Amino acid sequence: MTGVLLVTGASSGIGRAVAERALARGWRVALLARRGAALEEAAAGREAALPLVCDVTDAAAVDRAVATAAVRFGRIDVLFNNAGVFPRMATIDEVEPAEWRETVEVNLTGMFLCARAAFRAMRTQRPPGGRIINNGSLSAQVPRPGSVAYTATKHAVTGLTRALALDGRPFGIACGQIDIGNAATAMTREMDRGMPQADGTLRPEPRMDVAEAAEAVLHMAGLPAGANVLFMTVMATAMPFAGRG
């Protein structure tokens, strides 16, 4: 199945990998991010790609972007709610309130605003329905040391996912969450040098090809309306997840 896919955080990392892979598979894709030049590069002038500069923490900007995509493509079939930040690692007493607020604004409020706009479009389009895929994290299940703001927001995303999966039922809107561990992107380069572990040591961690994460997202996106992956975990096989904490 293909259709119209909206991807936030599409200028780099997992979001860009999903957008580019979807375009290659025949999806029409709206790419949202703050960096216009990187979006244009990802879109590569393809007719099926619609780059839209958008700050996911700005409600009006999100509403405009989703409305623009719906007008251009006629509907919104899937939102990959992906934009997020990973702040510096620190214990809670070392986290500045401004850092906490920024993390909450992007990772939680941004996801709320994008889901809100997409849900509205999916509910009112004809025929109604669609799918929202929230990018959680393994930290939505088990935290890393020094990740209080990130972990708190990702646990909250799980609550958002569960609520949307319930509230979307009367309108044919499915919602699921993908928790990705150690996909090889610019954000995870530090893992090759070493990451803090629960026992206080610093050790390198294996990473997986980001294409595998993108493939998992597109599997969720391509399911028929009557099926849904509520939660999926995909990770580098040998990463220290099961023993974390």
Residue numbers annotated as active site: 150
Tell which residue, 76, 92, 86, has the closest CA to residue 129. Answer: 76
Q: Are strands 4-8 and 195-196 parallel, antiparallel or unpaired?
A: unpaired
Distance, in Å, from the CA atom of 237 to the CA atom of 158, rounded to the nearest integer, reads 23
Distance, in Å, from the CA atom of 102 to the CA atom of 85, rounded to the nearest integer, reads 9
Judged on CB neighbours under 10 Å (0-12, 13-18, 19+), 172 is middle
Identify the residue whose tokens are 């006629």: 74
* SS3 at position 195: strand
Distance, in Å, from the CA atom of 84 to the CA atom of 61, rounded to the nearest integer, reads 17
Tokens of 24: 């290659």
Is the preceding peptide bond at 127 cis, omega within 30 degrees of 0?
yes
